[in-house]
Amino acid sequence: MLIYLFVMILIANFFVGVLLGISSIGGFLLPLIFVGFLDMPLRDSLALSFFSFAVAGLIGAYYYWKSGNMDVKLATFLSIGSIPGALIGVKLNSLIPDHTAKLLLYLFVLLSGVLLLIKSKKGNGNDTDKAHKPSKLLESKASTFIIGLISAAICSLTGAGGPILLVPLLTNLGVRIRVAVGVCLLNSVVIAIPSVFGYFQYSDMENFTLLLVASVVGQIIGTITGSIFSNKVKINHLSISIAALTMISSIYMIITLFI
């Protein structure tokens, strides 16, 4: 059983790491796989997932910064709000029953898939990376702080990861898609760190350290692979594929909760 878990976590992290490196979207699949398909304890799964988000975020953000697709100022003000937001989300999760927390996770992942599909259908392969005039909302430190706080609280509560909320939001506010991806990857690190420490308090699985190694190794290899090929993949096509996979998986898991 341990070898099976090790291999499956390694493969899952590699797959999701590729998606994160390319688009920053897809991290929410990890807790879905861990909880829904591998039947791991909820908060152990969230601790592993957020640790993976931190690793992927660091690697991916570096590649996007190196390629000039990073707005450090925007990322900084979002992240200032994300720290207390992540702590709030972890605390809320610990106060609700596991069944309810799982349902929230699956529902949020389903909603994320629907919103991602809608966003993808509106765009096309030619215009998703055009520059737009940034919204005045992002010029305000207070509003940027609030965006970071609320999105981090939702993401740490559900385990869905930050980019699934922030990438479409930032692009709708006028940020270029690849810059939005870079910013969200960096912000996901800030969300992940307090979330990891929070959920580790509730971890009780045996051999958790070994599973953490599988998670980190798979995530590093996958994210580096995805980041290298990020400029060669049409984000729109990838987003549609992720959205379809997400919706099908989350609907299945919601059904199994009530069977």
pLDDT exceeds cutoff 80 at 195: yes
Average pLDDT over residues 137-161: 85
pLDDT exceeds cutoff 50 at 119: yes
Average pLDDT over residues 67-75: 88
The CA-atom distances, in angstroms, between 153 and each of 86, 129, 214 are: 5, 28, 27
Average pLDDT over residues 128-156: 79
pLDDT tens digits, residue range 11-50?
Answer: 999 998 888 777 667 777 888 888 888 888 888 888 888 9
Task: Check residue 125 and give its pLDDT.
Answer: 44
Which positions ≥6 away from 112 have C-beta within 8 Å?
28, 160, 164, 165, 246
Size of the chain, expressed as the number of residues it contains: 259
Both tokens of residue 77?
Answer: 């003000």
Tell me if 106 sits within 8 A of 254, measured CB to CB.
yes
pLDDT tens digits, residue range 151-188?
Answer: 899 888 877 766 667 777 787 787 887 788 888 889 98
- 3-class DSSP state for residue 128? coil
- 3-class DSSP state for residue 71? coil
Task: Check residue 218 and give its pLDDT.
Answer: 92
- Global pTM value: 0.77
Task: Check residue 129 and give its pLDDT.
Answer: 52
Return the closest-CA partner of residue 236 out of 153, 82, 129.
Answer: 129
Both tokens of residue 64?
Answer: 């996007």
Considering 113-122, 190-199, 222-231, the range whose residues carry the highest mean pLDDT is 190-199
In the block, residue with structure tokens 């309810």: 100
